[in-house]
Structure 1
Amino acid sequence: MAEPTQDTATEEDTAGPYGFCSWHHRFAAGVRLIDVIEQGSGPGGVHYACPPCIKTHRLVPFADR
């Protein structure tokens, strides 16, 4: 059986989607969906965070809840 020549990448090592981080207000790679604000009487919306902000602010991505 052949052994892989590359190390396995962790989730934090992969670039992931590029988008706007709602915590540090800049564009970043690897953003994850954190919160969905349902449209009631207001406009609604979503919040994304980059990996450093997820770690710093101890955020839990929406998909991991």
Structure 2
Amino acid sequence: MISVIAIICKLAAPADCHGELVTTSDMASVSLQSCLMGAPQLAEWMQARPGYRLQGWRCVVGGRGREA
């Protein structure tokens, strides 16, 4: 299993960033290669977070990993 951790920052406070586990049914079968290439589903996931911007993401193999 590949987990995708998105690093998002508030638009109103650009230094206020945190990691968030990306979990959608569309991403249940994300491959490591797809994740490393940008997991296209991140764009859709970010649409639900209009007050944030995507700073980056990381791929964690084998579970949730550490957020932040």
- TM value normalised by structure 2: 0.24
Could you say which structure has the higher helix fraction? 2
Could you say which structure has the higher strand fraction? 2
Larger Rg: 1
- TM value normalised by structure 1: 0.24
Q: Which has the higher contact order (CA 8 A, sep 6+)?
A: 2
